[in-house]
Amino acid sequence: MNQIPAWTAAEGAERARTAYRAAFGAEPAGVWAAPGRVNLIGEHTDYNGGLCLPIALAHRTYVALSPVATSDVTLTSQQESDVWTQPLADIGPGRVDGWPGYAAGVSWALAQDGHELGGYRAAVDSCVPYGAGLSSSAALESAFAVAVDEVFGLGLGADHEGRRTLIAACIRAENEVAGANTGGMDQSAALLSRDGTALLLDMRDGSLTHIPFDLAADGLALLVIDTRAPHQLVDGQYGQRRATCEAAAARLGVPTLREVTNLPAALAQLEDVVLPDGTAVAADVVRRRVRHVVTEIGRVEEFVGLLTAGRVREVGAAMDASHASLRDDYEVSCAELDVAVEAARAAGAHGARMTGGGFGGSAIALVEADQVASVSEAVRTAFAERGWTEPGFLAATGDGAASRVDEGE
């Protein structure tokens, strides 16, 4: 079976340090790491001022880094082939191609905030799979954020408010330098999660609450299934969903769909819309998109209520309903996600759903701890029967935030 294990902090630190030595022939000043994340529930709610509930994974991206006397930034990654170097002053939007944009972009964003940084060199290694919807991009940004914060003495990583500044820098790096779409959930999870908790994020006011999430104590496990399905049409579809929600909110006279309090009344008011790109969306479709967003926000509240009350097994129903809503009303699922979810449920999962933006990526299933192997095997078989690429499997726990990982060694 295709298991994707999480490295221990010591193992990850040693790998990054070894990569650094091989590339630069010296010891790094330190090693820092940041987690990938998986969203428990609350999908396509972030840009509607809604709620989501990510947990940090034990799977982390490790960065061994040292400041240098010049203003050059030199980067290498075990997941990429090239060594990249560019003066700090030349880093910015439209000036960095490929993966270094996520990493070096954070330094650019912090410099934009008035922080003084120098040059550095760094080596990356990671056990967070790419493009699986587990946010390897935010893990990379956040690991660099805490690393440069410490070596240049910015002091932002030390407290909550400072970490919010780091989150904003990571978001700018991804949106403006790497040129990818991100709403901020991933970076918040990477920089503010706490061990044994899920992070309830309210995108209306930016507030966050740590919700107890200790599945092992209840004899449960969260199985993440990386479908390996090729993403298709993701960018255009994401933009259209977002634009449809914005058009619907405008029609309803509210700033975001979070403010919809009477769903039946709102649905009755909706009509055909034409998006800024000229796409016509029929009233029936607009209504289904709005119904997903509003009911999904309600499901996050329900999920959190059950977790807080210790009724953990009962969250399965909300997961199932979330998947149906994403598949039928929001239409962002795909055959691989549907099959993963159905096979997991048929093999005994309490609930299962796609997670992340959709059209590929990962699904999650809540399972009894002693059924992880049998549920995984059922999903693997269902994929094999269809001739699909074998999925990857990993266990998610609810881990801690980005930090230095080599202290005291």
Site of interaction with Mg ion (CB under 5 A): 135, 137
Query: In this chain, which stretch among 73-81, 144-152, 239-247, 309-317 interacts with ligand ADP, using CB under 6 A?
Result: 73-81
76 is a contact residue toward ligand ADP (CB under 6 A): no
* 67 three-state secondary structure: strand
Q: How many CB atoms lie within 10 A of CB 344?
A: 27
Of 46, 149, 186, 399, the active-site residue reads 186
Among 12, 48, 5, which residue's Cα sits nearest to residue 402?
12
136 is a contact residue toward ligand ADP (CB under 6 A): yes
Per the structure block, which two tokens stand in for 99?
């993966």
Q: How many CB atoms lie within 10 A of CB 115?
A: 18
Q: Which of 19, 110, 124, 372 binds ligand ADP (CB under 6 A)?
A: 124
235 is a contact residue toward ligand ADP (CB under 6 A): no
Contact flags string 151-190 toward ligand ADP, x per CB under 6 A:
-----------------------------x----------
Smallest gap from residue 174 Cβ to ligand ADP (A): 7
85 is a contact residue toward ligand ADP (CB under 6 A): no
Please give the backbone phi and psi of residue 136, each rounded to the nearest 5 degrees, phi first: -65, -25
Q: Which residues pair with 63 in a beta bridge?
A: 32, 124
Over its C-alpha atoms, the chain yields an Rg (Å, rounded) of 21
Are 98 and 37 in contact by the 8 Å Cβ rule? The answer is no
Provide the sign of the torsion angle of the four alpha carbons 92, 66, 136, 100, taken in this order. Answer: positive
Contact flags string 44-63 toward ligand ADP, x per CB under 6 A:
-----------------x--
Smallest gap from residue 130 Cβ to Mg ion (A): 9
Strands 362-368 and 351-355: antiparallel
Task: Choose the contact partner of 102 out of ligand ADP, Mg ion, none; CB within 5 to 8 A by kind.
Answer: ligand ADP
d(CA 353, CA 336) in angstroms, rounded, equals 12
Are 39 and 186 in contact by the 8 Å Cβ rule? The answer is no
Task: Choose the contact partner of 333 out of Mg ion, ligand ADP, none; CB within 5 to 8 A by kind.
Answer: none
140 is a contact residue toward ligand ADP (CB under 6 A): yes
Q: Which amino acid is at 408?
A: G
Does residue 186 carry a catalytic annotation? Answer: yes
Smallest gap from residue 40 Cβ to ligand ADP (A): 16
d(CA 332, CA 323) in angstroms, rounded, equals 10
Task: Choose the contact partner of 61 out of ligand ADP, Mg ion, none; CB within 5 to 8 A by kind.
Answer: ligand ADP
Among 229, 278, 256, which residue's Cα sits nearest to residue 44?
256
Question: How many residues touch ligand ADP (CB under 6 A)?
Answer: 19
Task: Choose the contact partner of 355 out of ligand ADP, Mg ion, none; CB within 5 to 8 A by kind.
Answer: none
Residues that bind ligand ADP (CB under 6 A): 61, 77, 79-80, 98-99, 102, 124, 126, 130-137, 140, 180
Active site residues: 186
